[in-house]
C-alpha cells in the first residue's frame, strides 16, 4: 500500500524571505485561502515573533482558514514560543515549529554555545511548545552539515520531550542526493523513538538539488516535505511544491507514494503567487512554466496531434492549463469576453467585467489577436487590483537622443483631475517624477523589471516595480502594449497599494 507524503507549504514564511518580496496582510490571507484550495496538509503561516505584522497575519490565518494545520515558526526561545502560541491558539489544528542550529560552525559562531547547551535548549523549547499544543515540530537547522551522531542525540531528546515531527533541513543546499539518502537511513537506525514520529525534510536549492534531495529523502523513509510554490525562498529558494507533487503523481509506479494535493489548482496557485510576489515564473520552469507544455518542433507537433502522450508525460488540463484557444479581437463583444473568461476560470462581477472590457478594447485596438495569456494578465493585473485612489487618465512623453525626456501625466482622484509635467533621465523617469509631483509622496525606486507576457511585435509588456513609499516597501504591476504606459500603471499600482496599507493601519 502506498504511503502518504505530507505537504508542508512554507510559501508564506520562507517564501516571503525571497529578496524583494513583501506580502500585505490581505495578500497573505488570499494566498492562505488558495493553499487551502490546493489542499496542502500544513501551512506555515509565518514567524510571529519577527514582527507585529507577521503576528497579525498568522493570527488571522489561524482564525479564518479551516482544514489545514496552521503552523507558526519559533526559535528555541521561550518568548518566541509564547508569541507563536498567541498567534495560532484559535486554529482548528495548531502546530508550533521550533528550531535551533546544530552544525558546529553555527553552534560556535552564531549561537556561541556548547553542544550540551544546545540539546538543553531544544528540550526546553519542545516541552514548552508541547504545553500549548499536541503537534510540535522540531528542526535541526543546518542538519546536513551537522555531526550525524549529534543529530541522533538531539532528535532523540526532542522526541522524548514531545516532538511529533522532526525536520532535517538542508539549510544551505549543500548535500548531494546520495548523501542525504544515507543520512536519513542513519537517523532511522540510530535515533531513539524515531519510528513514532514523522520525519520531514526542508531542502534549499543553492546547488539546484532541492527537489532531488527531497525525493531522495522520501525514498529513504521521510514522509513530510517542506516546500514552496514556484520554489520561492531564501537565496536560491526551496524545493518546488509543484515539482515534488507531480513527480510523486507521475512516477507512483516507482515511488509507491501519494499526496492529497488538489493538482487541478497547481497552475492557478503558481500564477497567484507570482502575481502577488512580483517574481515571474521562468518560461521553461518544470510543470508551471509557460513553455512546459509548448511544442515548437514540427515532428513533436505532428505526434502530439495524433497522440498527446507521445511527448507529454502529464496532461496539462489536470494541473490547470487550458489547451483550448479562442481568438478575441476588437470586434468581439462583452458576452464573448465573459464566456472566454469563465472558460479560463474567472467569474467577474459586473463592475469587474466592465473594467476588464474597457481594458480589453484598449488592447484589442493595439493587437490583432488577444490570447488566453493576455486575458489572464489583464484580469490579474488590471481588474483584481487594490482600490484605485489614483487613476491614470493620460500620459504624453517626448524623448530622443538629442532631446531632454519630458512627460506630462494626468491623474484622477475622487473625480478631480490633476496634471503635471516633469523631465527625467528617460521617458519613464520623467513620468515617475510627474506622478510624484501630483501625489506629493516621497518615493524611491528599488527595482524595475519588464518582461513580455505574450509573444510577437504587439506583445503585452508587464512591468513590476518595488518601491519604497514614505519608508514602506510595496510592489506594483502594470501591463500594456506600450512599455511607458505599463511602467506608469505599475508605479500607480504600487502607490495605491501604499495608500491602502496606510488606510488599513489607520482603521485598526
Q: Is the pLDDT of residue 55 over 70?
A: yes
Domain membership of residue 287 (yes or no) is no
DSSP-derived secondary structure letter, 174: -
Q: Is the pLDDT of residue 301 over 70?
A: no
| pLDDT for res 329 | 63
Which run of H or E residues covers position 106?
helix 104-106
Question: Can you tell me the mean pLDDT for 282-303?
Answer: 70
462: pLDDT confidence band, cut at 50, 70 and 90? confident
Q: Is the pLDDT of residue 421 over 60?
A: yes
Q: How far apart, in whole angstroms, are the C-alpha atoms of residue 281 and residue 322? A: 17
Question: Can you tell me the mean pLDDT for 58-62?
Answer: 97
Domain membership of residue 285 (yes or no) is no
Q: Is the pLDDT of residue 206 over 90?
A: yes
* 357 and 308 co-located in one domain: no
Contact 150, 101 (CB under 8 A): no
Domain membership of residue 177 (yes or no) is yes
Question: Can you tell me the mean pLDDT for 326-353?
Answer: 72
* 364 and 420 co-located in one domain: no
Question: Can you tell me the mean pLDDT for 354-362?
Answer: 83
Q: How far apart, in whole angstroms, are the C-alpha atoms of residue 380 and residue 14? A: 24
Domain membership of residue 11 (yes or no) is yes
* 368 and 445 co-located in one domain: no
Boundary-marking domain end, from 384, 408, 425:
384
Q: Is the pLDDT of residue 492 over 70?
A: yes
* 374 and 420 co-located in one domain: no
* 400 and 457 co-located in one domain: yes
Q: Is the pLDDT of residue 486 over 60?
A: yes
| pLDDT for res 327 | 46
- Find the domain containing 313 and state its range: 293-322
pTM: 0.74
* 317 and 331 co-located in one domain: no
* 176 and 219 co-located in one domain: yes
Domain membership of residue 97 (yes or no) is yes
Domain membership of residue 467 (yes or no) is yes
DSSP output for 78-89: HHHHHHHHHHHT
User: Hey, is 291 helix, strand or coil?
Assistant: coil
303-329 pLDDT, tens per residue? Answer: 656 777 887 788 888 898 876 334 466
| pLDDT for res 347 | 79
Nearest-10 Cα torsion for 380, 383, 389, 390: 90
User: Hey, is 412 helix, strand or coil?
Assistant: strand
* 404 and 342 co-located in one domain: no
Burial class (CB in 10 A: 0-12, 13-18, 19+), 179: middle
Contacts for 442-448 with beta carbons within 8 Å, 24 or more apart? Answer: 442/469, 442/470, 443/467, 443/468, 443/469, 443/470, 443/495, 444/468, 446/20, 446/473, 447/20, 448/487
434: pLDDT confidence band, cut at 50, 70 and 90? very high
Q: How far apart, in whole angstroms, are the C-alpha atoms of residue 285 and residue 156? A: 39
135-187 pLDDT, tens per residue? Answer: 999 999 999 999 999 999 999 999 999 999 999 999 999 999 999 999 999 99
Residue 229 belongs to domain with CATH number: 3.20.20.70
507: pLDDT confidence band, cut at 50, 70 and 90? low
Least confidently predicted of 183-192, 283-292, 432-441:
283-292
Domain membership of residue 158 (yes or no) is yes
User: Hey, is 149 helix, strand or coil?
Assistant: helix
Q: How far apart, in whole angstroms, are the C-alpha atoms of residue 415 and residue 498? A: 20
384: pLDDT confidence band, cut at 50, 70 and 90? low
* 256 and 318 co-located in one domain: no
| pLDDT for res 325 | 38
DSSP-derived secondary structure letter, 204: B
List the one residue out of 455, 458, 453, 435 whose CA is nearest residue 445: 435
Upper half-sphere CA count for residue 248 (Cβ side, 13 Å): 29
| pLDDT for res 340 | 72
* 79 and 228 co-located in one domain: yes
List the one residue out of 275, 332, 300, 295 whose CA is nearest residue 453: 275
Question: Can you tell me the mean pLDDT for 497-508?
Answer: 69
Contact 180, 170 (CB under 8 A): yes
Phi and psi torsions of 2, nearest 5°: -70, 145
Domain membership of residue 286 (yes or no) is no
* 461 and 358 co-located in one domain: no
Q: How far apart, in whole angstroms, are the C-alpha atoms of residue 124 and residue 119? A: 9
Residue 320: left (phi > 0), alpha (psi -120 to 50), or beta?
Answer: left
| pLDDT for res 324 | 35
Q: What percentage of the chain carries pLDDT values higher than 70?
A: 90
Residue 440 belongs to domain with CATH number: 3.30.160.270
Task: Tell me how long the chain is.
Answer: 508
Number of domains in the chain: 4
* 147 and 244 co-located in one domain: yes
Boundary-marking domain end, from 213, 248, 277:
277
Q: How far apart, in whole angstroms, are the C-alpha atoms of residue 13 and residue 386? A: 23
Question: Can you tell me the mean pLDDT for 3-27?
Answer: 94
**Please, what is the average pLDDT of the chain?**
89
Q: Is the pLDDT of residue 44 over 80?
A: yes
Q: How far apart, in whole angstroms, are the C-alpha atoms of residue 303 and residue 480? A: 36
Interior/surface letters 333-345, b for 16+ CB within 10 angstroms, e for the rest:
eeeebbebbeebe
DSSP output for 321-341: -------B-TT--HHHHHHHH
Q: Which residue has the higher pLDDT, 372 or 25?
A: 25
Amino acid at each position: 500500500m502506498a504511503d502518504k507524503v505530507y505537504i508542508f507549504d512554507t510559501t508564506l514564511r520562507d517564501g516571503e524571505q525571497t529578496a524583494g518580496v513583501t506580502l500585505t496582510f490581505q495578500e497573505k490571507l488570499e494566498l492562505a485561502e488558495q493553499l487551502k484550495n490546493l489542499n496542502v496538509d500544513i501551512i506555515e503561516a509565518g514567524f510571529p515573533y519577527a514582527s507585529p505584522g507577521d503576528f497579525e497575519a498568522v493570527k488571522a490565518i489561524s482564525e479564518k482558514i479551516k482544514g489545514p494545520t496552521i503552523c507558526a515558526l519559533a526559535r528555541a526561545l521561550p518568548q518566541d514560543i509564547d508569541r507563536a502560541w498567541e498567534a495560532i491558539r484559535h486554529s482548528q489544528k495548531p502546530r508550533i515549529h521550533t528550531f535551533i542550529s546544530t552544525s558546529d560552525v553555527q553552534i560556535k559562531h552564531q549561537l556561541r554555545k556548547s553542544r550540551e547547551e544546545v540539546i538543553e535548549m531544544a528540550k526546553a523549547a519542545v516541552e514548552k511548545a508541547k504545553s500549548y499544543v499536541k503537534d510540535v515540530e522540531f528542526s535541526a537547522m543546518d542538519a546536513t552539515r551537522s555531526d550525524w551522531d549529534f543529530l541522533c542525540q538531539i532528535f532523540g531528546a526532542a522526541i522524548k520531550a514531545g516532538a511529533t515531527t522532526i525536520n532535517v533541513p538542508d539549510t544551505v543546499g549543500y548535500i548531494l542526493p546520495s548523501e542525504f539518502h544515507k543520512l536519513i537511513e542513519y537517523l532511522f537506525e540510530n535515533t531513539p523513538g524515531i519510528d513514532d514520529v514523522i520525519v520531514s525534510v526542508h531542502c534549499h536549492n543553492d546547488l539546484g538539488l532541492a527537489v532531488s534531495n527531497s525525493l531522495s529523502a522520501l525514498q529513504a523513509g521521510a514522509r513530510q516535505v517542506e516546500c514552496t510554490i514556484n520554489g520561492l525562498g531564501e537565496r536560491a529558494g526551496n524545493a518546488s511544491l509543484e515539482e515534488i507533487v507531480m513527480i510523486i503523481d507521475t512516477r507512483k509506479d516507482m515511488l509507491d507514494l501519494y499526496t492529497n494535493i488538489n493538482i487541478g489548482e497547481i497552475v492557478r496557485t503558481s500564477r497567484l503567487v507570482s502575481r502577488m510576489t512580483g517574481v515571474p515564473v521562468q518560461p521553461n520552469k518544470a510543470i508551471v512554466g509557460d513553455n512546459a507544455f509548448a511544442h515548437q518542433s514540427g515532428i513533436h507537433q505532428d505526434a502530439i496531434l495524433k497522440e498527446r502522450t507521445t511527448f507529454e508525460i502529464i496532461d496539462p488540463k489536470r494541473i490547470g492549463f487550458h489547451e483550448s484557444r479562442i481568438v478575441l479581437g476588437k470586434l468581439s463583444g462583452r458576452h464573448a469576453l465573459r464566456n472566454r473568461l469563465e472558460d479560463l476560470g474567472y467569474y467577474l462581477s459586473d463592475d469587474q467585467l466592465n473594467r476588464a472590457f474597457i481594458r480589453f478594447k484598449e488592447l484589442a485596438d493595439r493587437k490583432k489577436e488577444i490570447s488566453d495569456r493576455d486575458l489572464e494578465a489583464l484580469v490579474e493585473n488590471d481588474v483584481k487590483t487594490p482600490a484605485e485612489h489614483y487613476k491614470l487618465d493620460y500620459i504624453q512623453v517626448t524623448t530622443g537622443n538629442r532631446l531632454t525626456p519630458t512627460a506630462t501625466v494626468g491623474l484622477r482622484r475622487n473625480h478631480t483631475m490633476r496634471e503635471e509635467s516633469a523631465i527625467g533621465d528617460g521617458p519613464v523617469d520623467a513620468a515617475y517624477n510627474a506622478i510624484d509631483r501630483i501625489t506629493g509622496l516621497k518615493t524611491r525606486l528599488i527595482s524595475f523589471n519588464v518582461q513580455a507576457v505574450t509573444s510577437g511585435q504587439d506583445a503585452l509588456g508587464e512591468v513590476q516595480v518595488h518601491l519604497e513609499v514614505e519608508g514602506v516597501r510595496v510592489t506594483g504591476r502594470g501591463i500594456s502594449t506600450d512599455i511607458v504606459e505599463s511602467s506608469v500603471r505599475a508605479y500607480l499600482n504600487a502607490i495605491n497599494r501604499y495608500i491602502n496599507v496606510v488606510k488599513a493601519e489607520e482603521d485598526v
